[in-house]
């Protein structure tokens, strides 16, 4: 009997480990598609489209894809009235953050824009610190300090500041908005499935994007065959990345997800070199590596706090 119980426990542990490994593979797939999506968005601008047109159509595709996912897994829920203020704040910051990030791609190298944007996990930690809901460990503070040192190198400040200041402001603004989105949607994601919350955030964002497109920029679709192919790939890559992210999250868990998704800036940089022909100096690549390592360090500090009894906070895109 004891041997049978031990065998069952071993099989369960092996199954769980296999599930986690598959989840990690799915998350790496997601990170690759997020990096591809970032670069395809930038390339689409060169073929006649604009930010609001791309966001509007891409969000429609995402709403349909995620809606099918939510329906398949029967995740539909209604938000209560008490959740409306948090939902309104989360929706606005989600829409503005998405807009600022894609706009920053027009003004600076995509790899550096995403590097700035990926400071949002550190910003989330600092926001919770300011609200008195969390405290950073010594490792966490070291990570924050190292991240800013890495940014200094990535900007090549010791050789001359020649990047677009507006691009930097937009990418940092996008990171701030997404950090605020995570904080404001935290309660919603505790009470409702995360992908359901994301679905409704996208619905509201779609309304904002569509109004902005019609009222401000107008519809700008590419006409040439190559432009249409790039644009179509851009509006498809985003939803693929997002859905695979949530599938991987459900299989690997929040902590592992946060660590694996730190590979997104790396995939973005690799695609920027391959697709856009971007080239950075060794100092900038060194700074980028320090920033990414710092983000991993902050996430590891959270994991350490979680394993010592503090309540963990899951991070979602």
Handedness of CA 304, 309, 310, 314 (dihedral sign): positive
Q: What is the pLDDT of residue 11?
A: 53
More confident residue, 130 or 151: 130
pLDDT digits (tens, 9 = 90+) for 224-241: 889 999 999 999 998 898
| 220 φψ region: left (φ > 0), alpha (ψ -120 to 50), beta (else) | beta
CB of 120 closer than 8 Å to CB of 175: yes
CB of 111 closer than 8 Å to CB of 269: yes
- What is the rounded CA–CA span in Å between residue 199 and residue 205? 10
Predicted model pTM: 0.79
Confidence label for 204 from pLDDT (cuts 50, 70 and 90): very high
CA dihedral angle for residue 105, residue 108, residue 109, residue 113, rounded to 10 degrees: -60
User: 277: exposed, middle or buried (C-beta count within 10 Å: 0-12, 13-18, 19+)?
Assistant: exposed
Instruction: Calculate mean pLDDT across residues 184-212.
Output: 88
The answer to whether residue 90 scores a pLDDT higher than 80 is yes
Q: Which of 178-182, 217-221, 248-252, 257-261 has the lowest mean pLDDT?
A: 257-261
Q: Which of 111-115, 212-216, 294-298 has the lowest mean pLDDT?
A: 294-298
- DSSP classification of residue 83: G
The answer to whether residue 296 scores a pLDDT higher than 80 is no
Confidence label for 315 from pLDDT (cuts 50, 70 and 90): very low
């Amino acid at each position: 009997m004891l041997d049978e119980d031990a065998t069952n426990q071993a099989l369960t542990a092996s199954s769980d480990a296999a599930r986690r490994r598959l989840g990690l593979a799915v998350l790496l797939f997601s990170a690759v598609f997020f990096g591809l999506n970032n670069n395809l968005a930038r390339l689409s601008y060169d073929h006649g489209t604009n930010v609001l047109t791309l966001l509007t159509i891409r969000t429609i595709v995402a709403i349909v894809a995620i809606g099918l996912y939510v329906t398949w897994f029967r995740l539909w829920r209604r938000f209560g009235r008490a959740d409306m203020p948090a939902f309104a704040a989360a929706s606005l910051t989600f829409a503005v953050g998405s807009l600022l990030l894609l706009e920053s791609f027009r003004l600076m190298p995509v790899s550096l824009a995403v590097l700035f944007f990926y400071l949002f996990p550190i910003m989330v930690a600092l926001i919770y610190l300011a609200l008195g809901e969390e405290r950073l460990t010594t490792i966490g503070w070291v990570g924050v300090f190292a991240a800013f040192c890495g940014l200094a190198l990535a900007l090549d400040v010791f050789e001359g500041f020649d990047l677009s200041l507006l691009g930097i402001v937009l990418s940092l603004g996008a990171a701030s908005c997404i950090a605020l989105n995570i904080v404001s949607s935290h309660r919603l994601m505790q009470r409702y499935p995360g992908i359901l919350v994301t679905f409704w955030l996208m619905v509201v964002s779609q309304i904002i994007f569509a109004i902005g497109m019609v009222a401000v920029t107008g519809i700008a679709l590419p006409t040439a065959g190559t432009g249409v192919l790039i644009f179509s790939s851009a509006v498809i890559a985003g939803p693929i990345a997002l859905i695979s992210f949530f599938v991987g999250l459900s299989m690997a868990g929040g902590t592992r997800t946060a660590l694996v998704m730190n590979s997104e800036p790396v995939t973005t940089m690799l695609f920027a070199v391959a697709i856009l022909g971007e080239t950075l100096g060794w100092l900038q690549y060194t700074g980028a590596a320090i920033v990414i390592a710092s983000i991993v360090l902050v996430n590891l500090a959270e994991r350490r706090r979680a394993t010592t009894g503090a309540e963990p906070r899951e991070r979602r895109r």
